[in-house]
């Protein structure tokens, strides 16, 4: 059923997810330009967006190569014309029938793996795969010098299923600044280049070497030996990315619209109708230099209100307070005032909502862009 766009923000039922198109387009262009400068193709990760309208902006309408994190994403995007898709989560053998069904419909869906058991299942199913490489100890994958790499490579090539290698420097989220993130970008590149060398030395093919995380994608200085770059949250950004200097608060394209519903003056609280069901429970900035609680508070226009954060989040209630150590009274925000909250983690916050209320870059009327979920 169609969801008509409300005439203005004052008509949007809160809490609601807002998307600033001007910032979205600017963020997309920034990484596209960076990939072109580095001489690699870009395979954007659409796990955060889960939206055909956003995907259209990211790919410029080309329906080019994309990355997904669920088979539901692969199915929805393929139905919309995307045919070159990397499913970048280690494959569970039970899901291969669903992968084969998509491939039978013309989708070049590629899976990833790092075990011989997965490789055997993939070969039996006749599904192409990339081997995941561990570049920083963050998650799964094989080290480039692990003898199992060549063994799995031989299994896949013999079965006609070897597409190459991929890695993800998830630990880059733990360091601040372009110089530190550039070192992780070098680790990504060095790991896949070394692993590709090991495969080729064994007489195996390695047509694709894929790297990427949002911090390293922006900080990389040299991607020699890499064929493609992946990143996801870059199109929206969030407080975690701002906290490690990948972006600024002015780059964050997502906010949650909320309404003031009460006050507790003796406690220094302002109550809003956006709790963790709207903002998510993500506290990704808690370990950073600046703890942003459950989100930074902005006025209705998106202007940051100094030192105001959502300090407590209940299911449907958020509690705004002054950041610890800041002085002064709370601002006068009467019941009914509209506010916007910058999210800690765009992926988690977006997942709480079924649509974006788009703020068009031309200043035109609001639009509604559906988003989907599921696995």
> What DSSP string describes 239-257?
HHHHHTTSS-GGG--EEEE
| CB contact burial 309-329 (16+ within 10 A = b; e otherwise) | bbbbbeeebbbbbbeeeeeee
How many angstroms separate the CA atoms of 56 and 24, rounded?
12
Per-residue model confidence as pLDDT tens digits over 287-344: 999 999 999 999 999 999 999 999 999 999 999 999 988 888 899 999 999 999 999 9
Can you say whether the dihedral through the CA atoms of 139, 208, 206, 75 is positive or negative? positive
What are the strands, taking DSSP E only, across the chain?
Answer: 16-20, 41-42, 66-68, 84-90, 108-113, 129-133, 162-167, 208-211, 228-229, 254-264, 269-272, 296-299, 304-313, 318-322, 338-342, 355-359, 367-370
Lowest-confidence region among 43-52, 125-134, 165-174, 324-333? 324-333
Equal CATH topology for 40-235 and 253-370: no
Q: Does a cis peptide bond (omega within 30 degrees of 0) precede residue 15?
A: yes
Lowest mean pLDDT among 42-51, 275-284, 320-329: 320-329
C-alpha torsion 262→266→269→273, nearest 10: -20
Residue 169: closest CA among 204, 222, 214, 131: 214
Mean pLDDT across 272-288: 97
Nearest-5° Cα angle at 18, 232 to 89: 25
Once rounded to an integer, what is the mean pLDDT over residues 194-198? 98
Residue 363 has pLDDT above 90, yes or no: no
Residue 5: the pLDDT is 84
CB 276 within 8 A of CB 313: yes
Token couple for 285: 């900035």
Q: Where are the domains of the chain?
A: 40-235, 253-370
Burial of 38 (0-12, 13-18, 19+ CB in 10 A): middle
Please report, for residues 239, 300, 317, 355, 364, the alpha-carbon distance to residue 296 in angstroms, rounded to integers and kept in the order given: 8, 13, 15, 21, 26
Average pLDDT of the residues in 229-249: 98
Is residue 253's pLDDT more than 80? yes
Q: Domain 253-370 carries which CATH code?
A: 2.40.37.20
Neighbours of 291 (CB within 10 A): 16
CATH hierarchy code of domain 40-235: 3.20.20.10
Alpha-carbon distance of 42 to 270, in angstroms, equals 43
CA torsion 38-43-44-50 (nearest 10°) is 180
Helix-helix angle 21-38:52-59, to 10 degrees: 40
Among residues 23, 56, 60, 64, the alpha carbon closest in space to that of 241 is found at 23
Q: In the chain, pLDDT over 90 holds for what percent of residues? A: 95
pLDDT given at position 1: 44
pLDDT in tens, 156-182: 999 999 999 999 999 999 999 999 999
How far apart CA 118 and CA 140 sit, in angstroms, is 13
By percentage, how much of the chain surpasses pLDDT 70? 99
């Amino acid at each position: 059923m169609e969801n008509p766009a409300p005439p203005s923000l004052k008509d949007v039922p809160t809490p609601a997810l807002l998307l600033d198109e001007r910032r979205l387009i600017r963020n997309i262009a920034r990484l596209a330009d960076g990939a072109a400068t580095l001489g690699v193709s870009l395979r954007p990760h659409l796990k955060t967006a889960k939206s055909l309208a956003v995907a259209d902006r990211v790919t410029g309408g080309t329906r080019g190569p994309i990355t997904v994190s669920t088979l539901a994403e692969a199915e929805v995007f393929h139905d919309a014309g995307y045919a070159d898709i990397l499913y970048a989560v280690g494959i569970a053998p039970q899901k291969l029938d669903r992968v084969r069904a998509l491939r039978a419909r013309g989708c070049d869906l590629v899976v990833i793996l790092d075990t011989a058991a997965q490789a055997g299942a993939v070969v039996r199913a006749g599904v192409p795969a990339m081997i995941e490489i561990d570049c920083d100890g963050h998650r799964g994958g094989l080290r480039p010098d692990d003898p199992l790499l060549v063994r799995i490579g031989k299994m896949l090539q013999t079965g006609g299923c070897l597409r190459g290698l991929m890695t993800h420097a998830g630990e880059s989220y733990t360091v601040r600044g372009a110089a530190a993130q550039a070192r992780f970008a070098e680790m990504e590149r060095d790991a896949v280049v070394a692993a590709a060398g090991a495969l080729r030395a064994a007489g195996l093919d390695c047509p694709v070497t894929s790297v990427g995380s949002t911090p390293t994608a922006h900080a990389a200085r040299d991607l020699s030996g890499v064929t493609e770059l992946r990143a996801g949250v870059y199109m929206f950004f969030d407080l975690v990315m701002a906290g490690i200097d990948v972006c600024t608060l002015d780059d964050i394209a997502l906010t949650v619209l909320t309404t003031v519903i009460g006050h507790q003056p003796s406690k220094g609280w302002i109550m809003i109708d956006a709790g963790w069901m709207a903002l998510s429970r993500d506290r990704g900035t808690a370990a950073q230099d600046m703890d942003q609680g459950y989100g930074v508070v902005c006025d209705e226009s998106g202007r940051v209100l100094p030192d105001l954060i959502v300090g407590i989040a209940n299911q449907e209630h958020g509690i705004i307070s002054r950041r610890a150590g800041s002085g002064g009274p709370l601002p006068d925000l009467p019941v009914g005032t509209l506010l916007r909250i910058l999210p800690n983690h765009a992926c988690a916050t977006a997942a709480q909502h079924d649509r974006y209320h788009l703020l068009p870059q031309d200043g035109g009327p609001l639009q509604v862009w559906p988003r989907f979920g599921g696995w």
